[in-house]
Amino acid sequence: MTISKREAPSFLQVAQKTLSDFGLPRIIIMSTFILLLVLSWVNGMNVPSLFGDVLRRWGMFGILVLAMVPGIRCGIGPNFGVTVGITGGLLGAVLSVEMRYIGMFDFIAHNPTLFGLTGAFVAIIIGVSVATVMGILYGMLLNKVKGSEMAVSVYVGFSVVNLFNMVWFLIPLTASILLFPAGGQGLRLLFNLRDDFGGVLNNLGQFRIYFGEHNSMNVPTGLLVVFFICCICMWLFTKSRLGMMMTAAGSNPEYARASGINVEKMRILGTTISTALGALGIIVYAQSFGFIQLYNAPQWMGFLLVAAVLIGGASIRRARVFDVLLGTFMLQGILTIALPLINVMLPDVPALPEILRLIITNGIILYALSKAKGG
Amino acid sequence: MSRQILTEKLLAFFFENKVALMFSIICLAAFFVSGMSTSLFFGELATRFGRNSFLVLSLLIPVIAGLGLNFGMVLGAMAAQISIFLIIVWGGIGTFGVFAAATVATPIAVLFGYLVGKMFNSMKGSEMIGGMVTGFFADGFYQFLFLFVFGGLIPIANERLMTSTGVGVLNAVDLDGNYMRQALDNVPMLNILDVAFWAVLIFTVATVIFKLIKKQPLEMFGSKGLIKLLVVLIPLALAYLLSFIFMPFHYFLYQDRLVGWMAVDIALIGMALYWVYRLVREKFIEKQPGVPFKPVAYLVLVIILYLLTLHPEIYAGLNHVQIPVLTYLLIVGLCFLIKWFMNTRLGQNMRTVGQNRAVATAAGINVDRTRIIAMILSTLLAAYGQIIVLQNFGVMITYGSHLNIALYAIAALLVGGATVSRASVKHALTGVILFHALFILAPIAGTQLMGSALIGEYFRMFVAYAIIAVALIMHAWQRTKSNKAKSATA
């Protein structure tokens, strides 16, 4: 405990300056993160290995969280309905697995990495195309419900997830890895991507950093590179003419309209990019996870992603790429470290990480909502 | 001329009830596809109606007060579950235990409602998304309470409730061990009559004494006349007396359930009497010109419904229905209570706040306070509703019973034809019947059509989410349209 006390003042001094636009909840969350790090070190856990896990999950969730940025910037607020795009991405992944099964990628089977990358690429192409179409429709819908986008997007997302439950159940596919074993009907709840594109980005240029004999940190280079490229693209987009116009349409629609910007079109553009990034993000997520979960699995994902970008410093009306980098790292860091730590410290309460997740994610969203008064 | 008016009225009726009518058609189609027997279907529907109506009714007040659909009702359910757990720990038994749980739940639910109302005041316009998120946020603390505080910080030695380590509550808490399973449903009519008679008698006597002490005039008729109390007291007293001298009646009252057709007949007779009274009042006392459309329409409806019950299939179905008397009385009582409340001064203030906050402020109404009261009432009713649900199930799923109640209750209300800004008792009751009919029929119809119950299950979940999504979209759409119209005229 002495260590955490020594840490606290310096941290608070830094925090004090940015308190006004940073907010108490974020400071609490950051302190929690640092406290968890210190506690896991004190408890003699393998901190570098944990840190490697945090890096992996950072890249895994990063693109999905990045999908929040165009949504917030174009004025629809945190896009809880990113599940629409995620569902599109899942459709792409499922079709890619089916295409691999019927032998469409066999011409490249001699090179496993290229084979996997092709599968991922096809999944992304299909997923992003489907998500783009759905995103345009979804954006047009959100233009009709200005002022209530958040509640609408939550339930539109839920509806799409539940509509696709029926699609997963009825879709006539043949790949045995996708289907329920004998006796069942429809696609499986969860299937392995081992024979497809599982881990293909993570393993690309992956290396280990050793700290002493037993402590080592795994760096998933390919995953992080893809994540950073997406971040840079998004950052360049926000600096471009089109991106500036979109931001203007989101932050001050009246002014934007007066200066000749088509606000409705800009909102559709932002929503579509957000939805398409959701599709891309879930495929990157799935290849890192190694499995694909269908049916109700993506239902609650929107909340986790919104919380991540808010923790990074975004608000309902303003978001930067930096918020994504910081927020995803914080949230995933806490969730990754808390699980093994609580197993060591409080083995009687195995559900504590889940409780932590509920309180942190929903707490930060509530805080942001109450700050957005009059918006 | 009058024919034209009639067509217009009929058209207006169809338009007003389009959602409910559409769902009626879906339910009828699903019923015929499923090939389910009426006795099974009616029995299941009656159970679900008794179980869920109270929760759906708890949603009405916030809608009227302009807070939209109260997704924060989950907190009321949490209050109910905390108090039921405490009552079981303290050894409360049977019907007494259920009422004790309601008593303990009251302050907890009032506190939760106050906090949620306070928070909603700081996020006006995004109450619904706020309510959703609040539910999940509170669920974190709820889980912490049940997984760690109970047993961990507060030692509770009870093998039936706690996990093997002694920290944390089991996933399922059995209410049967404390005889609380269906303890409300199982209260005999005789006891209800006893309590009702003595309560009304004491209330009447107290009123008379109060008026004598305050030296107020004791008038028989008029708006505050004693006749209103006597109209309730005299039939109760007669029934009470009859239960002593007429033994068949006494034995009849020993039951705690009414057979379906009997309940339907009683309800129809009640409806018929009420509308005959309205007809007489409008035609002969107030002497309104023309044919009074509404009473006549309702009387015709009553006759049609009665004739329907004579159909052998439906009669057989109703014959299998067992209606828990006390639970249904509580639901009916709540309906009248809400109707009465909306006509009080506070209720009228809520209506004003719901229609226009600026106008309400100008009229001297404390908007924030009124909204908080609406949230407190809704949370409290949701807590009572959840107690009714749990005693009917007989098992409390500690970490799950509260999770989906907002989804199902809100979907049911909307199926009945309510919107985000307009809801009534009629919408709530129709909605419960239609939504739960679909819930019962969808898996069976799915089996018949596609060979799998699962597809029906996915379908009904999709319907629940989609109906809420559509309602939110329609509400927001109308709001933006009216905003545009306003800015165009300004």
Would you call A313 an interface residue with chain B, using a CB distance cutoff of 8 Å? no
Smallest Cα distance from A210 to chain B, Å: 38
Residue B488 has what pLDDT?
A: 64
Contacts of B134 in chain A (CB under 8 A): 362, 366
Query: For residues B462 and B481, what is the distance between their CA atoms, to the nearest angstrom?
Result: 28
Smallest Cα distance from A355 to chain B, Å: 5
Yes or no, beta carbons of B472 and A370 under 8 Å apart: no
User: Which residue, B433, B463, B430, B460, is CA-closest to B444?
Assistant: B460
Question: Is A4 a residue whose pLDDT tops 50?
Answer: no
Ordered by start, the domain boundaries in chain B are 18-187+256-482
Query: For residues A48 and A54, what is the distance between their CA atoms, to the nearest angstrom?
Result: 10
Query: For residues B329 and B324, what is the distance between their CA atoms, to the nearest angstrom?
Result: 9
Would you call B474 an interface residue with chain A, using a CB distance cutoff of 8 Å? no
3-class DSSP state for residue B266?
helix
Identify the closest residue of chain B to A161 by CA–CA distance: B462
Would you call B206 an interface residue with chain A, using a CB distance cutoff of 8 Å? no
Mutate to test the interface with A, among B74, B153, B169, B462 (most CBs of A within 10 A): B462
pLDDT by residue for chain B (490 residues), tens only, comes to: 467 777 887 888 787 788 888 889 988 998 988 888 888 899 999 999 999 999 999 999 999 999 989 999 999 999 999 999 999 999 888 899 999 999 999 999 999 999 999 999 988 888 888 999 999 999 999 999 998 888 888 888 888 888 888 888 888 888 888 888 888 888 999 999 999 999 999 998 998 898 888 887 777 766 667 777 888 888 899 999 998 888 888 888 888 888 888 889 988 998 899 888 888 888 887 777 777 778 888 899 999 999 988 888 888 888 888 899 999 999 999 999 999 999 999 999 999 999 989 999 999 999 999 999 999 999 999 999 999 999 999 999 999 889 889 999 999 999 888 888 889 999 999 999 999 998 899 888 888 887 787 888 888 888 888 888 888 888 888 877 777 776 666 5
Would you call B293 an interface residue with chain A, using a CB distance cutoff of 8 Å? no
Query: For residues B450 and B364, what is the distance between their CA atoms, to the nearest angstrom?
Result: 60
Yes or no, beta carbons of A147 and B122 under 8 Å apart: no
Inter-residue contact B331 to B50 (CB < 8 Å): yes
Yes or no, beta carbons of B143 and A358 under 8 Å apart: yes
Question: Is A375 a residue whose pLDDT tops 50?
Answer: no
- pLDDT tens for A98-122 read 998 888 887 887 888 888 888 899 9
Residue B223 has what pLDDT?
A: 65
User: Which residue, B143, B269, B129, B163, is CA-closest to A152?
Assistant: B129
Average pLDDT rounded to a whole number, residues A133-160: 91
Residue the block writes with tokens 């559409």: B22
Question: Is A373 a residue whose pLDDT tops 70?
Answer: no
Q: Which helix (H) or strand (E) holds B431?
A: helix B425-450
Q: What tokens were used for A84?
A: 């629409």
Yes or no, beta carbons of A155 and B454 under 8 Å apart: no
Question: Is A15 a residue whose pLDDT tops 60?
Answer: no
- pLDDT tens for A85-104 read 999 999 999 999 999 888 88
Residue B54 has what pLDDT?
A: 94
Query: For residues A133 and A62, what is the distance between their CA atoms, to the nearest angstrom?
Result: 23
User: Which residue, B13, B145, B120, is CA-closest to B367?
Assistant: B120
Q: What tokens were used for A205?
A: 């240029």
Task: Find the CB nearest A155 among B130, B139, B465.
Answer: B465
Mean pLDDT lowest among A46-55, A103-112, A231-240, B58-67 = A103-112
Q: What tokens were used for A2?
A: 């002495």
Query: For residues B267 and B327, what is the distance between their CA atoms, to the nearest angstrom?
Result: 15
Would you call A145 an interface residue with chain B, using a CB distance cutoff of 8 Å? yes
Would you call A172 an interface residue with chain B, using a CB distance cutoff of 8 Å? no
Smallest Cα distance from B476 to chain A, Å: 5
Yes or no, beta carbons of B466 and A146 under 8 Å apart: no
Smallest Cα distance from B65 to chain A, Å: 18
Residue A183 has what pLDDT?
A: 65
Yes or no, beta carbons of B462 and A169 under 8 Å apart: no
Would you call B139 an interface residue with chain A, using a CB distance cutoff of 8 Å? yes
Residue A201 has what pLDDT?
A: 82
DSSP letter string over A257-289? HHTT--HHHHHHHHHHHHHHHHHHHHHHHHHHH
Residue A24 has what pLDDT?
A: 78
* DSSP state letter for A181: P
Contacts of B124 in chain A (CB under 8 A): 373
Identify the closest residue of chain A to B121 by CA–CA distance: A370
Provide the angle, in degrees to the nearest 10, between the axes of the packed helices B312-319 and B260-280.
110
Query: For residues A289 and B313, what is the distance between their CA atoms, to the nearest angstrom?
Result: 56
Task: Find the CB nearest A349 among B130, B168, B476.
Answer: B168
Contacts of B466 in chain A (CB under 8 A): 159, 162-163
Task: Find the CB nearest A166 among B132, B139, B462.
Answer: B462
Strands (E), A234-375: 291-293
Question: Is A360 a residue whose pLDDT tops 50?
Answer: yes
Q: What tokens were used for B379?
A: 């949370």
pLDDT band at A3 (very low <50, low <70, confident <90, very high): very low
Ordered by start, the domain boundaries in chain A are 61-205+220-357
Would you call A364 an interface residue with chain B, using a CB distance cutoff of 8 Å? no
Would you call B144 an interface residue with chain A, using a CB distance cutoff of 8 Å? yes
